[in-house]
């Protein structure tokens, strides 16, 4: 048995989430049964979708139960095994949640996956070569379906999803434009991630102003848009969308506190005969092997250089998560354990 600190969702947010919604709980891991392994987590993944699950409201995922470990992606190593499929020392990723250890039933489909850390660091399997990367891949390849020479845009471009989107778009011969917040993030988007242009939304007071900046960056309009944010940013890009453009709707972080997110120009959907499709990447597991292979190659060859924000210790998870919702992270937000 291992001493195991865990973070529970203690109560649901009323409006904006706060640290008081969470509770740090000490515990012990139970003895293993046949077919189980004990995983020591080295990294916890913090992701915007978790905010929506904190609400007890209809959504694409069931609400996070109160009084239980916050659910989320983890990367670590097997320290004890009662299954022939895994050996101690195996590097693995799964959904172990906000805790230092997890006991996993390995026969449950998708519960645990071995990863190779020869060329790709373990932490990247929670970002560029994990769920966020596959999210970018699916939205671009299956919904936007770009042709070489077309212009594509992504909001939150310096984050885990946006950075992967840029590399994938450039590999397909597209003009890639990233929208991010702040001069440092915009510089990273253009200089390190290789986007053709980056736009700082914080320099614009409204959608019309932001749209004018986008017009300068995309004089031929926008053929595909990957949406993570909603609100003013979405309105601004909508004004630049071309006829028969495609919009992959992945996140609406502007509305995660439960407020409505009005759309200023819905008539453009009709005017431009736009295809808008929302998606949840966990519903498309069939594409993961193909997507992960391409993403792993991009990272391994240095064509995708993802950045990470890392905090230390399980007790840091709530504040780091709240910072993520405010855009304080730079790249993929992780918690490092042990």
- pLDDT tens per residue, range 230-262: 999 999 999 999 999 999 999 887 777 777 889
The pLDDT tens digits of the residues spanning 24-44 come to 999 999 999 999 999 999 999
The pLDDT tens digits of the residues spanning 105-125 come to 999 988 999 999 998 999 999
Among 133, 123, 152, which residue's Cα sits nearest to residue 281?
A: 133
Residue 329 and residue 18 in contact, taking contact as beta carbons nearer than 8 Å:
no
Tell me whether residue 294 is in a domain. Answer: no
Distance in angstroms (rounded) separating the CA atoms of residues 282 and 220: 34
User: Are 107 and 168 within one domain?
Assistant: no
Summarize the confidence of residues 123-132 as an average pLDDT: 95
Token digits of residue 94? 């799964």
Q: Indicate the residue among 239, 266, 282 that finishes a domain.
A: 282
Tell me whether residue 262 is in a domain. Answer: yes
Place of tokens 């212009």: 151
Tell me whether residue 311 is in a domain. Answer: yes
Q: Indicate the residue among 241, 267, 282 that finishes a domain.
A: 282
User: Are 228 and 171 within one domain?
Assistant: yes
What average pLDDT is seen over the chain?
94
Size (the chain), residues: 338
pLDDT at residue number 288: 94
Q: What's the structural domain count of the chain?
A: 2
User: Are 44 and 108 within one domain?
Assistant: yes
In b/e form, how buried is each residue of 128-166, taking b as 16+ CB within 10 angstroms?
Answer: bbbbbbbbbbbbbbebbebeeebbbbbbbbbbbbbbbbb
Q: 70 or 252: whose pLDDT is higher?
A: 70
Range of the domain at 274: 131-282
Report the percent of the chain where pLDDT is more than 90. 85
Q: Is residue 49 over pLDDT 80?
A: yes
Tell me whether residue 34 is in a domain. Answer: yes
pLDDT at residue number 231: 93
Tell me whether residue 252 is in a domain. Answer: yes
User: Are 123 and 229 within one domain?
Assistant: no
pLDDT at residue number 299: 93
User: Are 85 and 172 within one domain?
Assistant: no
Q: Where are the alpha helices (DSSP H) in 24-65?
A: 49-53
pLDDT at residue number 112: 95
User: Are 252 and 203 within one domain?
Assistant: yes
User: Are 43 and 86 within one domain?
Assistant: yes
Rounded (5°) CA angle 194-141-302: 35
pLDDT at residue number 252: 84
pLDDT at residue number 253: 78
Q: Is residue 317 over pLDDT 90?
A: yes
pLDDT at residue number 259: 79
Summarize the confidence of residues 140-150 as an average pLDDT: 98
The phi and psi torsions of 44 (rounded to 5 degrees) equal -110, 140
Q: How would residue 61 be classed by pLDDT, with cut points 50, 70 and 90?
A: confident
Tell me whether residue 174 is in a domain. Answer: yes
User: Are 196 and 327 within one domain?
Assistant: no
Q: 61 or 49: whose pLDDT is higher?
A: 49
- Report the CATH number at residue 228: 3.40.50.720
User: Are 140 and 243 within one domain?
Assistant: yes
Tell me whether residue 295 is in a domain. Answer: no
Stated pTM of the model:
0.91
User: Are 147 and 70 within one domain?
Assistant: no
User: Are 176 and 206 within one domain?
Assistant: yes
The pLDDT tens digits of the residues spanning 147-161 come to 999 999 999 999 999
Longest dimension (CA), the chain: 62
pLDDT at residue number 150: 98
The pLDDT tens digits of the residues spanning 181-199 come to 999 999 999 999 999 999 9
Tell me whether residue 298 is in a domain. Answer: no
Q: Is residue 60 over pLDDT 80?
A: no
- Report the CATH number at residue 11: 3.90.180.10
User: Are 194 and 92 within one domain?
Assistant: no
């Amino acid at each position: 048995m291992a001493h195991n600190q865990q973070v529970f969702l203690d109560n649901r947010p009323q409006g904006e989430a706060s640290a008081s919604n969470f509770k740090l709980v000490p515990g012990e891991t139970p003895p293993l049964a046949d077919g189980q392994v004990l995983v020591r987590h080295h990294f916890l993944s913090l992701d915007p979708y978790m905010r929506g699950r904190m609400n007890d409201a209809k959504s694409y995922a069931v609400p996070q139960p109160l009084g239980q470990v916050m659910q989320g992606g983890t990367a670590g190593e097997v320290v004890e095994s009662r299954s022939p499929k895994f050996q101690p020392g195996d590097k693995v990723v799964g959904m172990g949640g906000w805790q230092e250890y997890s006991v996993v039933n390995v026969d449950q489909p998708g519960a645990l996956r071995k990863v190779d850390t020869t060329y790709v660091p373990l932490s990247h399997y929670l970002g560029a070569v994990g769920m966020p990367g596959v999210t970018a891949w699916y939205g671009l390849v299956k919904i936007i379906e770009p042709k070489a020479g077309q212009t594509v845009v992504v909001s939150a471009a310096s984050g885990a999803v946006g950075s992967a989107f840029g590399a994938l778009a450039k590999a397909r011969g597209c003009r890639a434009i990233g929208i991010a917040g702040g001069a440092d993030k915009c510089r990273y988007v253009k200089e390190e991630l290789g986007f053709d242009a980056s736009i700082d939304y914080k320099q614009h007071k409204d959608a019309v102003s932001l749209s004018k900046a986008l017009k300068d960056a995309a004089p031929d309009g926008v053929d595909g848009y990957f949406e993570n944010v909603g609100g003013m940013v979405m309105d601004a890009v909508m004004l630049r969308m071309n006829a028969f453009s495609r919009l992959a709707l992945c996140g609406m972080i502007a509305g995660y506190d439960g407020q409505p997110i009005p759309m200023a120009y819905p008539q453009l959907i009709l005017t431009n005969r736009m295809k808008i499709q929302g998606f949840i990447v966990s519903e498309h597991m069939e594409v993961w092997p193909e997507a992960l292979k391409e993403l792993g190659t991009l990272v391994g060859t240095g064509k995708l250089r993802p950045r990470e924000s890392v905090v230390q210790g399980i007790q840091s998870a709530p504040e780091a998560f709240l910072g993520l919702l405010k855009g304080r992270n730079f790249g993929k937000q992780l918690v490092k354990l042990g």
